[in-house]
Amino acid sequence: RVVEMDLRDAITCNQLRLYYQPITDARHDAVIGYEALMRWQHPENGLIMPIDFIPIAEETGLIHSLGSFALHEACREATTWKGNQTVAVNLSPIQFKNSGLVSVVESALEASGLDPSRLEVEITESVLLDNTLGNISILRKLKALGVRIALDDFGTGYSSLSYLRSFPFDKIKIDRSFINDMQDSREALAIIRAITGMSRSLDIQTTAEGVETDEQFRRLKEEGCTLFQGYFFGRPQPSESRLVGFAPL
């Protein structure tokens, strides 16, 4: 098990990396953005996945440093992309407990020179579960900067629908468990249908996550999904290798 001291080293010794997974717009056959996913290149243990260090970072408060790194690094790298694609950065609910979150985002934008409309932050509904008013006020400030706000892992957790009234999200990401089950489960398909229908009436974009097959892609297009993410389109890769090895549309 990874220890806290090691994770401090990860930050000070530049062992953190961002991998980028493409997000494809089926209407234009184009990669319109990438989600930044953190990895820890450990000197002895190799590449460590978020599930093995994000929870520890959240418990110890190191998530504030990790989160600041992710925002700065993602904005910086996105400025080098020829296609001007957007970059999506995941925010932990713990980062909202730090009153400095808005200024961290501002300084990442300023330092990189990235157009704020090219930055998207992904939050889960747990952000709206505790300290709701305070967190919504932070989201409004981020939105006022020009940053896009996406609701991640949608459909899991608690009373998802009510959250759509509490904040004007730019995008909803349908949790990949529904895409995984849609071929065998009428319920999963019905929920996907409900989410896409509702999003359309609210004028919110939907991203289908975890798309692994052509069959899923085809069915999801029929259901009205426009944005797609998953191994079928490409795995998370370092910024410099983003453009090689992606499955053509």
| Binding footprint of ligand G on the chain (CB under 6 A) | 21, 37-38, 49-51, 54, 70, 90-92, 122, 152-153, 176, 209-212, 230-231, 236
* Burial of residue 12 (number of CB atoms within 10 Å: 0-12, 13-18, 19+): exposed
63 to 102, contacts with Na ion by CB under 5 A? none
* Cβ 154 vs Cβ 173: under 8 Å: yes
DSSP state of 246: P
Residue 87 contacts which entry, Na ion, ligand G, Mn ion, none (Cβ below 5-8 A, type-dependent): none
Residue 144 contacts which entry, ligand G, Na ion, Mn ion, none (Cβ below 5-8 A, type-dependent): none
- Out of 122, 139, 182, 217, name the contact with Mn ion by CB under 5 A: 122
Interface stretch with Na ion, choices 43-51, 92-100, 146-154, 234-242 (CB under 5 A): 146-154
**Residue in 208, 238, 234 with CA at minimum distance from that of residue 221:** 208
67 to 106, contacts with Mn ion by CB under 5 A? 90
**Smallest distance, ligand G to C-beta of residue 200, A:** 22
**Smallest distance, ligand G to C-beta of residue 18, A:** 7
**Bridge partners (DSSP) listed for residue 42:** 46
**Smallest distance, Mn ion to C-beta of residue 89, A:** 9
Residue 232 in tokens? 């079928």
- State how beta strands 30-42 and 16-25 pair: antiparallel
Give the count of residues interacting with Mn ion (CB under 5 A): 3
* Cβ 249 vs Cβ 23: under 8 Å: no
* Cβ 154 vs Cβ 122: under 8 Å: no
Residue 111 in tokens? 């330092």
- Out of 19, 71, 152, 234, name the contact with Na ion by CB under 5 A: 152
- Out of 78, 109, 153, 195, name the contact with Na ion by CB under 5 A: 153
- Out of 109, 152, 188, 229, name the contact with Mn ion by CB under 5 A: 152
Residue 92 contacts which entry, ligand G, Na ion, Mn ion, none (Cβ below 5-8 A, type-dependent): ligand G
Q: Toward Mn ion, which CB reaches closer, 4 or 17? A: 17
CB burial readout 48-70, b (16+ within 10 A) else e:
beeeebbebbbeeebbbbbbbbb
**Smallest distance, ligand G to C-beta of residue 187, A:** 20
DSSP state of 247: P
**Smallest distance, ligand G to C-beta of residue 233, A:** 8
User: In degrees rounded to 5, what are phi and psi of residue 33?
Assistant: -175, 175
Q: Which residues bind Na ion (CB under 5 A)?
A: 152-153
